[in-house]
Amino acid sequence: MFGQPTSPRIRAALAGTLSAGLVFGLAACGGGSDDDSAGTDASASAIDCAPYTKFGDLKGKTVTIYTGIVTPEDTPHIESYKPFENCTGATIKYEGDKSFETQILVRARAGNPPDLAIVPQPGLVKQLVTTGKAVAAPQEVSDNVDKFWDKAWKSYTTIDGKFYGAPLGASVKSLVWYSPTEFKDNGYTVPTTLDELKALSDKIAGTGKKPWCAGIASGDATGWPVTDWVEDFMLRTAGPEKYDEWVSHKIPFNGPEATAALDAVGGYLKNDAYVNGGLGDIKSIATTTFQDAGLQIIDGNCSLHRQASFYAANFDKDTKVAADGDVFAFYLPGPDANTKPVLGAGEFVVAFADRPEVKAFQTYLSSDVWANTKAKLSSGWVTANKGLDPNNLTNPIDKLAGTILLDPKATFRFDGSDQMPAAVGSDAFWKQSTAWITGQDTATTLNNIEKAWPK
């Protein structure tokens, strides 16, 4: 047989790899203990099954739900479906996939969509509706949304007068991360107006430390954090009404309002005295991943990092994220203490089928029952569902975000780039922002983005 002279070596090499495999196998058996710890056993919490009886007998039926939410955030979602499954006898198949945003379009266009999809951008919802495969939301869902959400939330997925997607979770983006310990040690106070924020930055810069750290690298989405900065400042310098006009292109993208907003951002991100704490010069913002940037707070190399509520997941297990811990966040202040614009984002449940079990599940997801069930199971999750009892939120950042979202004085606006057409919101805006960081001027940047708006 061939290979005899070399077979001892091959055998040795094989043994090597196979034993490595064994080690991994043992790690798998040994390391993976049963997860009974996190969250309560949701199936035990019985819910009122009455709202679902009208959909008929759903025993044995399956509903597929496709999302971009993967581990570890998917576990609370899957757990939160159990009460519904117990009630109706239906089975929910959860498919989590990081390339959700491209795949959902491929699947919808080719005629193979899931039953439900959790879509994180209104712009993407619009694209899905254009494929003709999306189905309008049932009346029960529409009623729930009227009851539990602000009018604005419903408008994001109402296209041509038809309502398509109930909101699900949300995130708050107008947050600045900081170190409570550092603030206490140095006598810094949390700013309540933009001027105070600037003064604080100057104060910290005066001590020889770069106050801000930022990072916008994110693979082919590089540049998206700048869009959040711009939108936050657009809300604060031009006001929510102008913001809406700018997002829907009623005023040009490169108008005076946007120019003022981008320059205001430049006052922070392109200010040599302010950036980039612990990471380098202004240009390093473009190559630092958004995940890495805020970690400099823990290392003491910077003091302030503007990022959304979901950033909490970036800190490792030993870091205490609380008002009295290693790191926490404060609300990015408005122009004055009484004006509170809040930039945020969220996801929507869009249906591609109208079978009874799909409609029933959609109804469940848009209810306050689901929101509270989910809150009790999650850490690092919040919703704008008014039926949510904030006491069910387990984690300080969630409580903070929840309070901000439900504050009657706050004016909520959805992330602009998530609403704009794809050519702008997931392409030009990102690319031009990155070029802006590495030296391109404000006017050219805004002009290029304006050129990319589809006619």
Partner 1 sequence: MSTATPVTTTPPLAANPPSAAKIAKKRLSSPWASLAAIVLAFLWTLPTFGLLVSSFRPERAIKTTGWWSFFSNPTLTLENYRGVFGEDGGVNLAAFFVNSLIICIPSVLIPVSLAALAAYAFAWMNFPGKNVLFLVIFALQIVPLQVTLIPLLEIFVNVKLTGTFWTLWLSHSTFALPLAIYLLHNFMREIPAGLIEAARVDGAGHVSIFFKVMLPLLTPALAAFGIFQFLWVWNDLLVALVFAGGGDEVAPITLQLANLSGTRGTAWQLLSAGAFVSIIVPVTVFLLLQRYFVRGLLAGSVKG
Partner 2 sequence: MFNTASTTPEKILQMLSALLLFAAVMGIILFIAGRFGGKKGDRVVAYLYLLPVLLLLAVGLVYPGLRTIYQSFFDAAGDAFIGFDNYGTIFTDADQLTVLRNTVFWVVLTPFVATAIGLVYAILVDKSRFESFAKTLIFLPMSISFVAASVIWKFMYEYRPDQGTVKQIGLINQVIVWLGGKPIQLLIESPLNTFLLIVVMIWIQAGFAMTILSAAIKAIPDDIIEAARLDGVNAWSMFRKITLPSVQPTVVVVLTTIGIGTLKVFDIVRTMTGGNFETSVVANEFYRQTFNADNQGLGAALATLLFLLVIPIVWYNIRSLRQSEAR
**Which residues make up the interface to partner 1 (CB under 8 A)?**
2-7, 10, 13-14, 17-18, 20-21, 24-25, 27-28, 31-35, 38, 64, 66, 68-75, 93, 95-99, 103, 106-107, 109-112, 114, 218-219, 289, 291-292, 295, 299, 310, 313-314, 316, 318
CA-closest candidate to residue 67, choices 122, 15, 119: 119
Q: Looking at beta carbons only, is 163 or 310 nearer to partner 1?
A: 310
Choose the one of partner 1, partner 2, none that binds residue 187, judging by a C-beta under 5 to 8 angstroms depending on kind. Answer: none
Q: Looking at beta carbons only, is 123 or 167 nearer to partner 2?
A: 123
Q: Looking at beta carbons only, is 45 or 289 nearer to partner 1?
A: 289
Buried b (16+ CB within 10 A) or exposed e, 211-228: bbbbbbbeeeebbbbbbb
Q: How far is the CB of 373 from partner 1 (least distance, A)?
A: 19
Q: Looking at beta carbons only, is 38 or 49 nearer to partner 1?
A: 38
Q: How far is the CB of 9 from partner 2 (least distance, A)?
A: 6
Q: How far is the CB of 299 from partner 2 (least distance, A)?
A: 7
Q: Looking at beta carbons only, is 39 or 425 nearer to partner 1?
A: 39
Choose the one of partner 1, partner 2, none that binds residue 130, judging by a C-beta under 5 to 8 angstroms depending on kind. Answer: partner 2
Q: Looking at beta carbons only, is 110 or 199 nearer to partner 1?
A: 110
Q: How far is the CB of 261 from partner 2 (least distance, A)?
A: 22
Q: Looking at beta carbons only, is 1 or 46 nearer to partner 1?
A: 1
Choose the one of partner 2, partner 1, none that binds residue 49, judging by a C-beta under 5 to 8 angstroms depending on kind. Answer: none
- CA–CA distance, 59 with 79 (Å, rounded to integer): 19
Q: How far is the CB of 160 from partner 1 (least distance, A)?
A: 25
SS (H, E, C) the chain: CCCCCCHHHHHHHHHHHHHHHHHHHHHHHHHCCCCCCCCCCHHHCCCCCHHHHCCCCCCCCEEEEEECCCCCCHHHHHHHCHHHHHHHCCEEEEEECCCHHHHHHHHHHHCCCCCEEEECCHHHHHHHHHCCCCECCCHHHHHHHHHHCCHHHHHCCEECCEECEEEEEEEECCEEEECHHHHHHHCCCCCCCHHHHHHHHHHHHHCCCCCECCCCEECECCCHHHHHHHHHHHHHHHCHHHHHHHHCCCCCCCCHHHHHHHHHHHHHHCCCCCCCCCCCCCCHHHHCEHHHHHHHHCCCCCCEEECCHHHHHHCCCCCCECCCCCEEEEECCCCCCCCEEEEEEEEEEEECCCCHHHHHHHHHHCCHHHHHHHHHHCCCCECCCCCCCHHHCCCHHHHHHHHHHHCCCEEEEECCCCCCCHHHHHHHHHHHHHHHHCCCCHHHHHHHHHHHCCC
Q: Looking at beta carbons only, is 289 or 411 nearer to partner 2?
A: 289
Choose the one of partner 1, partner 2, none that binds residue 338, judging by a C-beta under 5 to 8 angstroms depending on kind. Answer: none
Q: How far is the CB of 126 from partner 1 (least distance, A)?
A: 19
- CA–CA distance, 419 with 11 (Å, rounded to integer): 58
Residues of the shown chain interacting with partner 2 in the complex, contacts defined by CB under 8 A: 6, 9-10, 13, 102, 105, 127, 130, 217-223, 278-281, 283-284, 286-287, 299, 301, 421-423, 426-428, 430-431, 434-435, 438, 452, 454
Q: Looking at beta carbons only, is 206 or 300 nearer to partner 1?
A: 300
Choose the one of partner 2, partner 1, none that binds residue 8, judging by a C-beta under 5 to 8 angstroms depending on kind. Answer: none
Contact 354, 135 (CB under 8 A): yes
Choose the one of partner 2, partner 1, none that binds residue 64, judging by a C-beta under 5 to 8 angstroms depending on kind. Answer: partner 1
Q: Looking at beta carbons only, is 391 or 438 nearer to partner 2?
A: 438
Q: How far is the CB of 70 from partner 1 (least distance, A)?
A: 4
Q: How far is the CB of 423 from partner 2 (least distance, A)?
A: 4
Contact 165, 157 (CB under 8 A): yes
Choose the one of partner 2, partner 1, none that binds residue 372, judging by a C-beta under 5 to 8 angstroms depending on kind. Answer: none
Choose the one of partner 2, partner 1, none that binds residue 337, judging by a C-beta under 5 to 8 angstroms depending on kind. Answer: none
Q: How far is the CB of 448 from partner 1 (least distance, A)?
A: 26
